[in-house]
Amino acid sequence: MTRVFSGIKPTGNVHLGNLFGALTRWVDDQHRADSIYCVVDLHALTVPQDPAELREATLRLAQILLAVGIDPSVSTLFVQSHVPEHTEGAWLMECTAAFGELRRMTQFKDKSDKADFVSGGLFTYPALMAADILLYDTDEVPVGDDQRQHVELARDLAERFNSRYGPTFTVPRATFPAAGARIMDLQDPTSKMSKSEDQAPGTILFLDEPAAIEKKLKRAVTDTEAEVRYDVAAKPGVSNLLSILGAATGRTPEEAAQGYTQYGPLKTDAAAAVIERLAPMQERFRELAADPAETARILAAGAEKARAVAAATLTRAKDHIGLLPPG
Ligand code: AMP
Ligand code: TRP
């Protein structure tokens, strides 16, 4: 059976882009593949975090994943730091990656240019990500386009390790969402919707109330024509509304465009569809949030399942690279 692995960082607020671009795909994948999903709290540490906030964000993100439909009886859901094999595997990957290879990662260049404190972890982060993936004999890694280079590196490291020390790791490949799954900012539809402060008018958050969703969609930037058509280059705002309406109702943006001639009704219907799609997930989130012990139990069981797989792979890798087995 195909093995799927993906991870999401517990930083910022989950928004519609995360939901339609990543999480609904995770939910779909769990029925055709053996899926393992991870809240990557160690990756969040590449920039300084408030300890209480990080703990809270990690639990909340796990609850959101369960609420959107990750089913722990079908998939494995766990928190990265609960499986110490990840950090140990990361060291093997750091020693397999070339310095120049890590230096060429565009995300490192972007983030280190902007940050006033650049941690060593920010630089070696792709090695940890490679360990995450390779420890589970992963075939497919569902990610957004921004992670393409990191998954490529994981492939290269798997191949290099295998050719140096003998067959050890499965060589993974990235899978990407359909074109319409890229959700853009409602106020600036040429840049993607992103995790940001609570009140951002261009971002619809997973936990937004219906009134906020309506308001944000009603104020979404469109254009001065009066024609509803999916054309990302010429009509980014309208196309984004069609992507949102389509994703919320299980259709392509082109299908969603049918029957609309004006922007007003398109916005109203997009808001109604998003509210209807989110309502049962938000309800489930509230139930889970009221019982953190239940989430803790699910995560403990997930970590135990994950650890059994990760430990076997790590033992194999340590043996092949020449580390003396204990006792
Ligand atoms: P991030 O929010 O950047 O940590 O990303 C978490 C996951 O959501 C990744 O798989 C991203 O590719 C995906 N994602 C983030 N923003 C968007 C967006 N605006 N549209 C579609 N997918 C997104
Ligand atoms: N780096 C990814 C991001 O920022 C998160 C991540 C960490 C990940 N480990 C992973 C994604 C392993 C896929 C597989 O979105």
The whole-number pLDDT of residue 178 equals 81
pLDDT, mean over the chain: 96
Ligand 2: residue whose CA is nearest its atom 15: 8
Q: What average pLDDT score do residues 212-224 get?
A: 97
pLDDT per position as a tens digit, 253-302: 999 999 999 999 999 999 999 999 999 999 999 999 999 999 999 999 99
Q: Give Cα 128 to chain centroid, integer Å.
A: 16
Do residues 263 and 238 make contact, with C-beta atoms less than 8 angstroms apart? yes
Which atom in ligand 2 lies closest to the alpha carbon of residue 150? 1
Strand duo 3-8 + 34-39: pairing: parallel
Please give the Cα distance from 119 to 153 (Å, whole number): 20
State residue 134's pLDDT score. 98
Instruction: Report, as an integer, the average pLDDT of 231-240.
Output: 96
Ligand 1 atom 18, closest CA: 17
User: What are the start-end ranges of the H helices in 207-321?
Assistant: 210-218, 236-249, 253-257, 263-289, 292-321
Q: Is the CB of 90 under 6 A from ligand 2?
A: no
Number of H helices, E strands in the chain: 14, 5
Cα(304)–Cα(235) distance, integer angstroms: 49
Is residue 114 part of the annotated active site? The answer reads no
Q: Is the pLDDT at 204 greater than 90, yes or no? A: yes
- C-alpha triplet 64, 145, 160: angle, nearest 5°: 105
Q: Which pLDDT score, from 0 to 100, does residue 183 have? A: 94
In the chain, CATH 3.40.50.620 covers 3-180+291-321
215 included as an active-site residue: no
Task: Provide mean pLDDT across the span 178-196.
Answer: 87
Euclidean distance between CA atoms 257 and 262, whole angstroms: 10
Pairing of strands 140-142, 76-79: unpaired
Give the model's pLDDT for residue 196: 67
Catalytic site residue from 195, 216, 235, 305: 195
pLDDT at 79 over 90: yes
Question: Does residue 198 have a pLDDT over 70?
Answer: no
192 labelled catalytic: yes
Tell me which residue has its CA closest to atom 14 in ligand 1: 18
Report CA(9)–ligand 2 centroid distance (Å). 7
Say if ligand 1 is within 6 A of residue 130 CB.
no
Q: Cα 214 to the chain's mean position, in Å?
A: 25
Q: What is the pLDDT of residues 113-157, one digit of tens each?
A: 999 999 999 999 999 999 999 999 999 999 988 899 999 999 999
What do you get for the CA distance between the two ends of the chain, in Å?
35
pLDDT at residue number 177: 86
Closest atom of ligand 1 relative to the 144 alpha carbon = 12
In short, whether 143's Cβ falls inside 6 Å of ligand 1 is: yes
* Ligand 2 centroid from CA 276, angstroms: 29
CATH class of 3-180+291-321: alpha beta
The CATH topology of domain 195-287 is: Tyrosyl-Transfer RNA Synthetase (1.10.240)
pTM of the model: 0.95
- Which of 9, 109, 111, 318 is catalytic? The answer is 111
Q: Residue 327 has what pLDDT?
A: 83
